[in-house]
A and B are shown apart, each in its own frame.
Chain A
């Protein structure tokens, strides 16, 4: 428990540090480890070939943005990373997605274990119709943590981590549905942080939010990336440019270009990327 406290202060340090070093952060990726190494990955919905021969190397402690027009497969890809695509019964896949060196498509890979390490934040805020406290404690509880004191600590730490503690600390027992959309989304992020995942997948997390809430979530993403690897799908190119270190551009189920974000937005290699970011389609 003492250990946990230490981590908490540690975490706050990181957050402070990260906001100060934000400007100076460059993409010096060579010494970073891969979290998700995707090799020749294909995915079909029934007969529809939705993802074609995807090869991507996503590094740890970075924000990787995935952009592209609607229907390009970006959401499908991010949902493949924690195997949420399997909830659609007609999905077929082949190829490899290695999470920290192990192929998650392997039938021996426990999907629950993967999702415990790889958290997800969804397009629409989807808190449970329970109290704020129970929402955050959901993850730890399903994984067998019952000690009230530890849960209290985890809840506080996660809410602080998601920068919403001050707003909700006096009403932890109120239903999370009473909060605004932006607050709900940060509760969902906090809920995700509560099991301290390694990677956080975000599927257009701000698409249902107003500009101010969007800004808050974007700042949060910046703060989180020192402790977490973040992969974010967005249809908002400015957002990708603002918050990500690397950007992958998807089109018709293929990766057209994957590079440092500043490079993608300043000197894209591919004509289609340039067309897309300059707003000629999508």
Chain B
């Protein structure tokens, strides 16, 4: 026993004791959390930076243009020489036209696709279709814009001869195609998370798959589906390149969808690609419009979060 006791003067432990760089190790252990929290704060700083930028420059804008004229004005004529008008409502309306058309395309198709994928499709079909939807979601918006301008618009003009080359309909439809995968995949997630026991309960009573889908699964997954729609519409509101290419640059305050429009995002692009000098009212106006856009999308994102949190089904 005694000799074994000596034998436990472990050589590896000796090596460890010798080689251990305690100070350096302890320093790294102390340092890393600080480094990492600093990095994590960059995302917070980004938000602060966005808010700072938008608020600061928008404030500058409102030094030159009255806030009521901006919020309630129905004419947006920033380039009209001596007396520019900065009423944001036409831009907001243009944006809403796109969002509504996009939603009309994407919501029924997206939810239908989600039902098919979640309730009807076999594993094999699902494994083929889902990646294709991912590809569809990964197509750059500039490509969609080109597609809207050079394919969808001419095709629609065949059907509606009065359709202008720049209009709300074509980019609206294409934005709808763009957000469709988002609705389909998020809604499918919501439906797939409805437990099978609930489906089996209904099926055992002799319900058809359709009845199970529409009367059992859909209501159970409704909060997730609505959240996905809200998120997708928010994405449509912030969409830029499709509407810049195919929507035109004419802010109008009417409900016409066949003529040229301008959205908030398209206005920012128009000014940015032109040469509005730094410090002009027009320069500041893109921040005011950007801020308006930011508020819209922020509210919708918070709404989506609220819906999915508040109405989350507990199984």
Contact = CB atoms under 8 A, between A and B. Distances in A.
A154 B12 contact: yes
Contact of B7 (A4, A7, A140, A143): A7
A10 interface: yes
Q: What's the dominant secondary structure at chain A's contact region? A: helix
A117 B13 contact: yes
B11 A61 contact: no
A116 B13 contact: yes
Interface string B1-17: 10010011011110110
A143 B19 CA distance: 7
Contacts of B7: 7, 10-11, 14, 227
B1 A144 contact: no
A32 B19 CA distance: 31
B16 to A, nearest CB: 4
B13 A140 contact: no
Contacts of B13: 116-117, 195-196
B11 A196 contact: yes
A104 interface: no
B15 A150 contact: yes
A144 B16 contact: yes
Contacts of B83: none
A8 to B, nearest CB: 9
B77 to A, nearest CB: 60
Given A7-B7, A14-B7, A227-B4, A140 B12 contact: yes
B20 A144 contact: yes
A150 B15 CA distance: 10
A117 B20 CA distance: 14
A3 interface: yes
B21 interface: yes
B contact patch SS: helix
B16 A116 contact: yes
Quick one: which of A4, A11, A140, A143 has the most chain B CB within 10 A? A143
Interface residues of A, number: 22
Interface string A140-161: 1001110000100010000000
A140 B4 contact: no
Contacts of B15: 140, 143, 145, 150
B19 A144 contact: yes
Contact of A144 (B4, B11, B21): B21
A58 B20 CA distance: 29
Interface in A1-59: 3-4, 7, 10-11, 14, 31
A194 interface: yes
A154 B91 CA distance: 72
A218 interface: no
A196 B10 contact: yes
Interface in A214-258: 226-227
Nearest to A146: B19
Contacts of B16: 116, 140, 143-145, 195
Contacts of B11: 3-4, 7, 196
A198 interface: yes
Interface in B11-38: 11-13, 15-16, 19-21
Contacts of B4: 14, 61, 226-227
A254 to B, nearest CB: 33
A11 B13 CA distance: 15
Contacts of A226: 4
A154 B15 CA distance: 11
27 contacts: A4-B12, A7-B7, A7-B10, A7-B11, A14-B4, A14-B7, A61-B4, A116-B13, A140-B12, A140-B15, A143-B15, A143-B16, A143-B20, A144-B19, A144-B20, A145-B12, A145-B16, A145-B19, A150-B15, A194-B12, A195-B12, A196-B10, A196-B11, A196-B13, A226-B4, A227-B4, A227-B8
Interface of B: 1, 4, 7-8, 10-13, 15-16, 19-21
